[in-house]
Amino acid sequence: MDLRNEDTIPIESQVVATLKAYKQKLQAYEQALVEALRQEYPLSEARRQQFQQLQQLELGDAEVEAITSRVTTEAETYHHHLQQYEQAFATVIHQEYPLTKLKLLELQQYRESMSLAEVDVAPIEAKITTQIKTYQQKLQQYKKAFIDATQCRYHPSEATRQQLQRTWQILELEEADIKQIESHIFTQIQAYQNNLNQYQRDFVKAVQQQYPLTEATRQELRQQQELLGLGWEDVAPLEARITEGLEEHLQNLQRYEEVTSSLTQYEYPITEEARQELYRLQQILQISDEDVHQIETKILAEIEAQKQAEASKLSEITPTIAPLPELEETEELPDKRENVVSLVPTELPKQRSEIPKPQALSSKLPWKIGLAILAVVASVVLYFGHIPKPTPLPPFVDPVLRRQIEAFVQQQAEEEAQRQVETVARQQVEAEIKRQAEAAAAEEVKRIETATQQQAEAERQQRQAEQQRLAEQQRLVGQVLCT
């Protein structure tokens, strides 16, 4: 063609420059596509249209299609590897948090085997770690609320249980994690209850052996209390309740013994009617048959001892009578014999029941019978918890005894009223403690709701900022592709 170099060189330079510029545009297109797919996979419809417009204006279809196919395939494979790594990282961190150095090394090796860039893995790890931290914080919030409601000592009431259920539902916690937390705390509660029951058995055994307790026994109980990990505030109500019940039982035993002793002193053996009244009194005072047997054995022993003492005293005061000399039949001493015989009783009473009762019994009862009536009335007061309508005492009751009975009944009524006031006060204190616990649980629920709402708002603002950042990157990529 006989072309000169000075003629061909500019043409070649122009063609080379055009091809070079075209290749640069293809590379820029490929880089923009790779970056877009790295940030968003698959591409949104708006991004797809943007790349199609660039293809129609400056780039050939064949080259663009080849680049798009190759880059999309690579991006799909890369994105699939990222998903696999994300699943593996989530599984490992759910099993163990925080991660140990060995687990971190295993994850790094797994990441390198799939040729994943650290810049792409870091956001995945940060997102999952943040989710785990947030979830762990929510678990700690629920655990604190559960501990505040139960004090790790008592099982929650139904109302408290409903509040706690509402709490973990608001926090969006998994039921399996909730059961794990509650199981751990319930184990502590059961251990506390077992220790408390063990101390109760030891204390009951000690007071049954000896009451009141000696200083040595109390020291042993304090050591047992420390060994079981119980505080004074744990055992004080228990000891007070047992001591109060024991003292009341001892008072009931004393009352029953007084009534039984009074009846046996008035009439022995006891009639069937009196026996029925004693049985009713036993039921009212809640005394066991074994205690009744011991009391009756003691009273019978006292009666036998009293009989022996009376028989001994009677034998001492009985005069010793010498046998009369035999008189001849002709001797007449009628007056002397009668005088001598009149000094000797015909037959001594052998049993106390054969001693004639005093004539005054028909008009006035002995004071011991009054005590028996007094104890029965007091038992009725204890049984029914209040003073029944006053019934007139029998007309044969002595006025002094009547006043004693009325004073005793009034005293028993006042003591019972005081016990009722103490019971009501104790119930009010327990109700107030329960109310405060439920109020604390409700306040914790309210605080958790507020914190959850604030956290949701912060996450929303974070997502909005991330969307704005992505939009800005897309705008910059578009400007690069257009230039």
pLDDT, tens only, 98-133: 889 999 999 999 999 988 888 889 999 999 999 899
Q: Is residue 135 part of a domain?
A: no
Q: Is residue 94 part of a domain?
A: yes
pLDDT reported for residue 353: 40
Q: Shortest CA distance to 318 belongs to which of 349, 339, 340?
A: 349
Task: Give residues with Cβ within 8 angstroms of 292, minimum separation 6.
Answer: 256, 282
Domain around 111: 13-115
Q: Is residue 289 part of a domain?
A: no
Task: Give residues with Cβ within 8 angstroms of 257, minimum separation 6.
Answer: 295, 298, 299
- pLDDT tier, 330 (very low <50, low <70, confident <90, very high otherwise): very low
pLDDT, tens only, 450-481: 877 787 788 788 878 877 776 776 666 556 44
Task: Give residues with Cβ within 8 angstroms of 373, minimum separation 6.
Answer: 393, 397, 405
Q: Is residue 164 part of a domain?
A: no
Average pLDDT, whole number, for the chain? 76
pLDDT reported for residue 282: 85
| Mean pLDDT, residues 421-441 | 74
Gap between the Cα atoms of 248 and 246, Å rounded:
5
pLDDT, tens only, 260-284: 888 777 777 778 887 888 888 888 8
pLDDT reported for residue 219: 92
Q: 84-98, 327-341, 350-364 — which is least confidently predicted?
A: 350-364
Q: Among 191-205, 317-331, 400-414, which range has the highest average pLDDT?
A: 191-205
| Mean pLDDT, residues 185-201 | 92
pLDDT reported for residue 321: 47
Task: Give residues with Cβ within 8 angstroms of 401, minimum separation 6.
Answer: 365, 367, 370
Q: Is residue 42 part of a domain?
A: yes
- pLDDT tier, 53 (very low <50, low <70, confident <90, very high otherwise): low
Q: 34-38, 92-96, 367-371 — which is least confidently predicted?
A: 367-371
- pLDDT tier, 403 (very low <50, low <70, confident <90, very high otherwise): low
The tokens for 332 are: 């007449």
Is residue 363 pLDDT above 50, yes or no? no
C-alpha dihedral (384, 386, 391, 392), degrees to nearest 10: 120
Q: 154-168, 186-200, 315-329 — which is least confidently predicted?
A: 315-329
Q: Is residue 43 part of a domain?
A: yes
- pLDDT tier, 22 (very low <50, low <70, confident <90, very high otherwise): confident
pLDDT reported for residue 435: 75
- pLDDT tier, 327 (very low <50, low <70, confident <90, very high otherwise): very low
What's the predicted TM-score (pTM) here? 0.49
> In this structure, is the dihedral angle defined by the CA atoms of residues 73, 76, 82 and 83, taken in order, positive or negative?
negative
Q: Is residue 82 part of a domain?
A: yes
Q: Is residue 195 part of a domain?
A: no
- If one counts the domains in the chain, the total is 1
Is residue 4 pLDDT above 80, yes or no? no
